[in-house]
Structure 1
Amino acid sequence: MKSNSKLKKVKPLSTNKSVDFNFREQIMHYLKRWYWFAVGLLICLALAYIYIRYTIPKYNVSASIMISQDDSMGESELAAFQDLGLLENKSNKIENEIQIIKSRTLITNVVKRLKLNVQYFSQGRVLETENYPESIIEISLLAPDSIIQSASKVFKVKIVSNTKFSLLGEGDEKLSDHSFGNTIKTSIGDVVITPNFKEIGNKKGETIKIQISPIKWIAESYRNGLGIFPVGKNSSVVQISLNDPVKEKAMDIINTLIDEYNEATINNKKQTSARTATFINDRLDLISGDLTEVDDEAAGYKAKFGLTNDISAQTQRVADSDTRNLQEITQLSTQLSLIESTRSFILSQEGRYDLVPANLGFDDPNITNTATRYNTLISQRNRLLTSSSEQNPAVININQQIDGLRQVLIESLNSLKGAINIKLNSLKTQDRYFSGKLYNAPIRQKDLRVIEREQTIKEQLYLYLLQKREEAEITSHVTLSNAQIIDRATTIGSYPVSPNKKMIYVGALFMGLMIPFLIIYVSELLNVKVRSRQDLEKVLTMPILGSIPRTKTKDKIVVSRTNRSGIAEAFRILRTNLDFLMAGSNKKKGKVIFVTSTISGEGKTLVSSNLAKTLTISGKKVAFIGTDFRDPKFHNFLDLPKGKDTEGFTNFIMNKDLSPQDVIYAEKSEDPMDILPPGVIPPNPAELLMQDRVAEMFVYLQKHYDYIIVDTAPVSLVTDTLLIGHYSDLSIFIVRENYSDKRALQVPENFHREKRLPNMAVLLNASFNQGGYGYGYGYGYGNQDA
């Protein structure tokens, strides 16, 4: 066997010393625990498989629509208000339309239309599969709609024959037998279950679960699951997507939602046209009555005074000019009348949030654009109020925009009215001039002209309103929806989007490696115990004797002539290394070796007893002494005549009648060594060790033995060992792997620097890893037990 005879001595400890990072050492911490990673990977991959196996797959279904944005305010004088936030920009309009599409009202209509609150499931070996769009049976609820919409119930139906079925309980126990088509009384009212196939008997023994849920729950569930977002930043194309285990169901939901949205927008536009038509009809009724009165007045005046249409040539030229002037006055008067009617409607509290008549033909295009924009905001407000309240921020924002537009519209009308009045005053001045010229004309003809003038105004206004009513009727019958369908709902790919097997397995691999890594890393980070020989080399400047491997044997004395286990070889190598450490000693015999440690439990008695046994086997005369008078372990390792109460060192010190031979015992085994047990436990161990009898005993031992192995007390707890330290030729300091605190290594280091114990060396006990550290006793021997 090859032994490492050279003892490594590290550089002196320095307070400014920086320990280099040893990558190989760090890797070894993890490679030594490779089974942790194997177990972590196995558990995480198993959990991933179970999750995927028992999770219902979901598919992604999406559709694309383009929302109309015909209403433009780019050329309107109101465009200046857009920067103030009073008017809605394009992106805000798209966002408002998205909120309308996602409103509870529309989604609830979809749920009711598709009867999504009633679900049918076929029970499989692992998962339940939803039957959609058709199940082998169908349930009909006979209760009122108010009860059906809030009902929550689960039925388990087992097919017995073509005409019979059984209702099962939660544990699949039979509750009752029924016939298809018969009324069944339940907690949610009467229900009727009917088959959807004639040969339903072929499904005998199959169980169908019918789950009835409140409509608002289902609607809210799909509302939260819907993804509605613009395709681009400035695009009016909107994508609607939904993840669901049943692809056909998701497609029906999206397509029906688009249809519901289009129907809602069309109804809103028809409502606008209807309100416009109603306003025009009311004005027509009023104007029609005025026109009839003027016609009757003109006819009665002519009949009363017998007037004809013949006019003198002299007044004809003035009359022609006056006629053109009157036409302009008539047109302006019509505009003023229309302006005043519109102003009265807008300023009335009853019409505060009603639609104003559109396309009334004002000469100012800004007024027409403003009225169109005003009606658009009123329509949007009405749509939002169908699924929200007055306190909704979006409704408040639209209210503010409507108020701003109303004010602008009134100001525009006032401005137009002022301009018309100025022009009208000018024309009236000219009219008075022409009237003066015609003063000499027959007064009756003049009066008749006044009547005809009023008649013309009423007639033009009446014809104008008739035209607008026809336009409103045409618009109401050719109304288009806001949404243009680009792509109907369809699935993206044939594979489910959830669960994502690839990502789950990758995540499981990552977690399977990361969790053990973090556990090991944190344990290493928080660990303050000595873990290896390197921990000693980093701190201590004294020689390192080597290490004693950990053993599973229950034997205390593991060394014998025939034992070739790893731990036995370690003690043999330790015996060899003692010669190198004590090579400078002039003693031929009586070499005293102290075995000590920082605290109790680090293996002093184990190491010292087996070291003494190893020296005995080599043919040396060895005395094994116990000086730990406070907590001796001798009786646990050696067969003493009276066990723990055997007379020993303390008895020798206290009783001067005893000689060394009286307290020294020969071991009862092959290759016996002599033993000096600690003796009875005294009340004053430190004072006893200061007695002259201690020196007398060591003189005797050095004279009669080759080696004296002394099992001492821990140095950090009591001063006992330091009191007799000057008798030592070699002090072996025991450090136990995974037991001794690294912070306590400063204790032996200080003793070594201050030379409080002579010729100190450190020994690592209970070492787990022997590869490459120490003496090579693992090679060829393995970990054989004694």
Structure 2
Amino acid sequence: MYPNSPQVNSNQPNPFLVSQESELDFRVILFRYLQHWPVILIFAFLGVVAAYFYNKFTTPLFKVESTLIIKDDDKSLGSDIFGSAGFSGLQGRSNIENEIGLLKSYSLAISTIGKLNLNVQYFKEGFYKMVEIYGNSPVLVQADFSRKQAVGGLFRLVVLDENRFELTTEGNGFQLFNPADPNFKTGTGLVLLPKSIYEFGETVSHEFFEFKVDKVSAIPGEIVFFRLLDTPSLALTYSSALSVTPSNKQSSILTLSLETPLRRLGVDYLNGLMETYLQRELDEKNRTSQNTIRFIDQQLSGITDSLRGSENKLQQYRSENKIFNLSQEGSVIFSSLQELEKQKSQTELNIKYLQTLKTYLGTGSTGELVAPSIMGTADPLLSALVQNLSELQADRVRLKANFSDQTPQVRDINARIKNTTDALQENVSSAITNTQNVLADLNNRIRMIERDINQLPETERNLLGYQRQFSINENIYIYFLQKKAEAEITMASNMPSNVILDFAKSGQGPISPNTSRNLIFGLLIGLIIPIGFITVKDFLNTKIEDPKELENQIKVPLIGMVGRNISGESIPVLNNPRSSVTESFRSLRADLTYLSPQKENLTLLFTSSISGEGKTFVSMNMASVFALLGKKTILIGLDLRKPKIAQEFGLKNDVGMSTVLSSTTSWKQVVKSSGYENLDVILSGPIPPNPAELLLQEKFGKIIQEVKKEYEIVVFDCPPVGLVSETKELFAFSDVNFFVFRQGYSMKGNTQILNNLVEKGNVSKIYGVLNDIHMDKGYGYGYGYGYGYGYGYGYGHNSYGYHDEVHIPWWKRAFRRRS
């Protein structure tokens, strides 16, 4: 990869690092979060506290359940015939989905609320919130919803004595309900009701409301709040809150459930809903009988007068002519004629019924249909069609309670009603023609018998005529009375097909809020918020933090890491030799024996991407650690633009490398003692106007050659290679080069500067060094045994007596600056 150095494959593990990656990653991640443990603990505590107060202030909800059995209707006559023809409505089987829709329908909720009188909610003041009461309110409010009412807002009622109370309004949450347009309410603004005193039983009238308050068990001084609610809004609330589900896919048992803060209210509503549902089903069953009775009553009103008139004429004729009975011959003729007349009357009644049925079908008044079997029509096909049409009509009523006319279900059943109606009209027309033929045959047979009647004496012939007319009317009258009685018996014996299996009941404990779950959820939220914030912050962080991430990004080995200098000393190697930072430089010195084996004299170059990453700090201490070993060492400051070495050693930067390069001064004249044994310094000197040109002179190379002959270790403190260009030329004079990064300071993108140097092949033996490792972030664990501050349990922070650390208060460290 680079000349004169071992080839390094970026895909191979770094030989200087241990391979316990999973353990290291876990520790790094753990310490990354644990350094913020106070914040995490505070948020977790706040999450639990918030969950506690949520449980405390949330109104508990109870689940009320009941069950219904939806029974299958018996198959109607002709259902087998029409089932194969595609008339599925003839199957007579209750559609579970339709029944669920009916139970959740708005119209059924309206009927139930009307029976239970739920239009007034009562409240009492609790310790920290309003508490709704039901069934034992000390007062009873009766509102007149046939006029405009202000609904939704609170009224405050204070009982003054046995007969009087004070009434005011609370807040401005009122809306105006108008019975002329019940589905749309308008805002009333602020309904102001000054403190007004009324008597119990007195009508309270206002521009926006009118109601009456009766005392039930109120005592003087008691305070009651109440709210008026209109029925449409309540119906929408209850229908949406109601849940109706089958026990399983094959079962016809429906479970009705309602979540409510008032168990008794939920029980009353579900029981009332089921009773209303069954009564509606019973009303639908009785509708056919009611239609039959109404039709018979219409017919009886006409036949009664005819019967009475024919009876009077018969009695009058008998009295006037002194004749009461027919002769034997007349009786035989009369019996034959009476039977034919009876058949004729039945046939005429059938024609009348069929014509009425045809009229109903033509005008769309199918709700008034009378069953053919009740009227004596024995045609099974006609009876099946009428019954099928009635069932389809009932299904459409149920569907339209929840769906609009444009939904597929309603459009499908409308098409089926039209097909059944068309088939019924065709069948009725055919039946009318056939019945008229039967009637014509009966008339012919009656005319033949009338010829025999003409041969009787006149007196007997006239008596037979009166008796014949009376007998016809009497038979029709008796027939209608019989059918009416049958319809009334049928209606009285009707029972709902569906049955209540279990009446509503409530569990003893609330289902909401779930105290334990909410506390756990609050704890998790309290942990997730700070951890998530830390994670996002780290994800968006553009600074180098993780040594392993740096190692993966650079194309050279990460040879060493230097811990944070908490002692505050600029040169801890010389001033605090037992510190862990000093040990990290010793470890780096030891590694050089592997990087440049069998080489006594070394020239080391230190650079970085930008200023402030600690290259001067690392170069000074690296030079110092060789001086401690007894090596004759010189530190040369080549950062001619921003010199810092003089300040750290307490020297005056009056002469230096810039002086040597810009004049005839010998380099030996500018060498200064650092004050420590075996360590000399050549400062950068006064800042020149052309630092790049000075370092690129041929003279500089000759000076370095002379320096190398005098010293065993030469250390270059170079300017940042990412900012100036001359540093690239200085690599040619060094044996080993170090590119310094600083944790939490260097940008991640700066690694590309080092990679570009390697890719272009201009630099040999260059290695990465990570400076200012933060032990509290957990990055110090596991990166080699003794590789600097925090690289193992033996050489980490406060390493069991092996290192001495001088702790400086944070507020002092904050104002110290490191190069």
Q: Distance in 2 between matches of 1:369 and 1:711?
A: 108
1:511-530 matches, within 5 Å, as 530=544
Q: Judging changes above 3 Å, is the alpha-carbon distance between structure 1 residues 498 and 198 closer, same or farther for their aligned structure 2 residues?
A: closer
Counterpart selection for 2:736 from 730, 749, 752? 730
What is the aligned partner in structure 1 of residue 151 from structure 2?
151
Q: Judging changes above 3 Å, is the alpha-carbon distance between structure 1 residues 344 and 757 closer, same or farther for their aligned structure 2 residues?
A: closer
Tell me the CA shift for residue 468 of structure 1: 1.9
What is the aligned partner in structure 2 of residue 310 from structure 1?
327
Q: Judging changes above 3 Å, is the alpha-carbon distance between structure 1 residues 416 and 294 closer, same or farther for their aligned structure 2 residues?
A: farther
Query: For 1:501-548, what per-residue CA distance to the aligned partner results, in whole angstroms no more than 9, with x for missing partners?
Result: 344455456656766776677677777765444445556675543210
1:11-22 matches, within 5 Å, as 12-13=9-10, 22=21
Query: For 1:577-635, what per-residue CA distance to the aligned partner results, in whole angstroms no more than 9, with x for missing partners?
Result: 33554442253xxx321012344443212211222333344444433222234555546
SS of the counterpart of 1:362? coil
Query: For 1:423-477, what per-residue CA distance to the aligned partner results, in whole angstroms no more than 9, with x for missing partners?
Result: 66666777777788x5994596889878876765544333221212223344455
Count the aligned residue pairs: 756
Counterpart selection for 2:131 from 129, 132, 143? 129
Structure 2 unpaired stretches of 5+: 173-192, 787-793, 808-819
Q: Distance in 2 between matches of 1:160 and 1:28?
A: 72
What is the aligned partner in structure 2 of residue 615 from structure 1?
626
Tell me the CA shift for residue 250 of structure 1: 1.2
Letter in 1 for 2:30: L
Query: For 1:320-376, what per-residue CA distance to the aligned partner results, in whole angstroms no more than 9, with x for missing partners?
Result: 996698378537634643444443542452735434356212122343343344444
CA contact (8 A) 1:715 1:722 kept: yes
What is the aligned partner in structure 2 of residue 3 from structure 1?
none
Q: Distance in 2 between matches of 1:490 and 1:604?
A: 79
Residues 1:557 and 2:595 aligned together: no
Tell me the CA shift for residue 721 of structure 1: 1.9
Residues 1:468 and 2:476 aligned together: no
Letter in 1 for 2:82: A
What is the aligned partner in structure 1 of residue 122 from structure 2?
120
Q: Distance in 1 between matches of 2:554 and 2:592?
A: 19
Q: Judging changes above 3 Å, is the alpha-carbon distance between structure 1 residues 200 and 307 closer, same or farther for their aligned structure 2 residues?
A: closer
Residues 1:571 and 2:579 aligned together: no
Q: Distance in 2 between matches of 1:346 and 1:476?
A: 23
CA contact (8 A) 1:325 1:431 kept: no
Counterpart selection for 1:254 from 240, 264, 270? 270
Q: Distance in 1 between matches of 2:252 and 2:77?
A: 17
Tell me whether 181-190 or 252-261 shows the greater mean CA deviation.
Answer: 181-190
What is the aligned partner in structure 2 of residue 686 from structure 1?
692
What is the aligned partner in structure 2 of residue 225 from structure 1?
241
Tell me the CA shift for residue 490 of structure 1: 0.6
Residues 1:138 and 2:139 aligned together: yes
SS of the counterpart of 1:12? coil
What is the aligned partner in structure 2 of residue 648 from structure 1?
656
Q: Distance in 2 between matches of 1:451 and 1:690?
A: 150
Counterpart selection for 2:639 from 628, 643, 659? 628
Q: Distance in 2 between matches of 1:690 and 1:510?
A: 62
CA contact (8 A) 1:355 1:378 kept: no
1:498-513 matches, within 5 Å, as 498-505=512-519, 507-508=521-522
Residues 1:770 and 2:771 aligned together: no
What is the aligned partner in structure 2 of residue 545 from structure 1?
559
Tell me the CA shift for residue 394 of structure 1: 6.3
TM-score by length of 2: 0.77
Q: Distance in 1 between matches of 2:636 and 2:152?
A: 85
Tell me the CA shift for residue 293 of structure 1: 6.5
CA contact (8 A) 1:531 1:737 kept: yes
Tell me whether 404-413 or 526-535 shows the greater mean CA deviation.
Answer: 526-535
Tell me the CA shift for residue 569 of structure 1: 2.3
Q: Distance in 1 between matches of 2:215 and 2:350?
A: 72
What is the aligned partner in structure 2 of residue 5 from structure 1?
none
Tell me the CA shift for residue 254 of structure 1: 1.6
Q: Distance in 1 between matches of 2:160 and 2:473?
A: 82
CA contact (8 A) 2:24 2:781 kept: no
Q: Distance in 2 between matches of 1:697 and 1:115?
A: 107
Counterpart selection for 1:362 from 367, 374, 377? 377
Residues 1:90 and 2:104 aligned together: no
SS of the counterpart of 2:258? strand
1:577-596 matches, within 5 Å, as 577-587=591-601, 591-596=602-607
Q: Distance in 1 between matches of 2:461 and 2:691?
A: 148
Q: Distance in 1 between matches of 2:461 and 2:165?
A: 97
What is the aligned partner in structure 1 of residue 51 from structure 2?
48
Q: Distance in 1 between matches of 2:66 and 2:623?
A: 88
SS of the counterpart of 2:424? helix
Letter in 2 for 1:53: K
Q: Distance in 1 between matches of 2:635 and 2:417?
A: 106
Q: Distance in 1 between matches of 2:206 and 2:316?
A: 81
Tell me whether 252-261 or 773-782 shows the greater mean CA deviation.
Answer: 773-782
Q: Distance in 2 between matches of 1:494 and 1:544?
A: 67
Q: Distance in 2 between matches of 1:234 and 1:525?
A: 53
Q: Judging changes above 3 Å, is the alpha-carbon distance between structure 1 residues 626 and 226 closer, same or farther for their aligned structure 2 residues?
A: same
Counterpart selection for 1:346 from 360, 380, 390? 360
What is the aligned partner in structure 1 of residue 510 from structure 2?
496
Q: Distance in 1 between matches of 2:91 and 2:640?
A: 94
What is the aligned partner in structure 2 of residue 695 from structure 1?
701
Tell me the CA shift for residue 128 of structure 1: 3.5
CA contact (8 A) 2:606 2:737 kept: yes
Tell me the CA shift for residue 281 of structure 1: 1.4
Q: Judging changes above 3 Å, is the alpha-carbon distance between structure 1 residues 191 and 705 closer, same or farther for their aligned structure 2 residues?
A: farther
Letter in 2 for 1:496: P
SS of the counterpart of 1:73? coil
Tell me the CA shift for residue 225 of structure 1: 0.9
What is the aligned partner in structure 1 of residue 104 from structure 2?
102
What is the aligned partner in structure 2 of residue 31 from structure 1?
30
TM-score by length of 1: 0.79
Residues 1:784 and 2:805 aligned together: yes
What is the aligned partner in structure 2 of residue 282 from structure 1?
298
Q: Distance in 2 between matches of 1:378 and 1:27?
A: 70
Q: Judging changes above 3 Å, is the alpha-carbon distance between structure 1 residues 604 and 470 closer, same or farther for their aligned structure 2 residues?
A: same
CA contact (8 A) 1:140 1:193 kept: yes
CA contact (8 A) 2:562 2:770 kept: yes
Tell me the CA shift for residue 134 of structure 1: 1.8
Tell me the CA shift for residue 728 of structure 1: 0.9
CA contact (8 A) 1:335 1:362 kept: no
Counterpart selection for 2:765 from 759, 763, 767? 759
Tell me whether 461-470 or 477-486 shows the greater mean CA deviation.
Answer: 477-486
Q: Distance in 1 between matches of 2:131 and 2:403?
A: 36
Tell me the CA shift for residue 686 of structure 1: 3.4
Residues 1:216 and 2:227 aligned together: no
Letter in 2 for 1:719: S
Q: Distance in 2 between matches of 1:519 and 1:356?
A: 75
Letter in 1 for 2:623: A
What is the aligned partner in structure 2 of residue 4 from structure 1?
none
Q: Judging changes above 3 Å, is the alpha-carbon distance between structure 1 residues 77 and 423 closer, same or farther for their aligned structure 2 residues?
A: farther
Q: Judging changes above 3 Å, is the alpha-carbon distance between structure 1 residues 612 and 245 closer, same or farther for their aligned structure 2 residues?
A: same
CA contact (8 A) 2:607 2:718 kept: yes
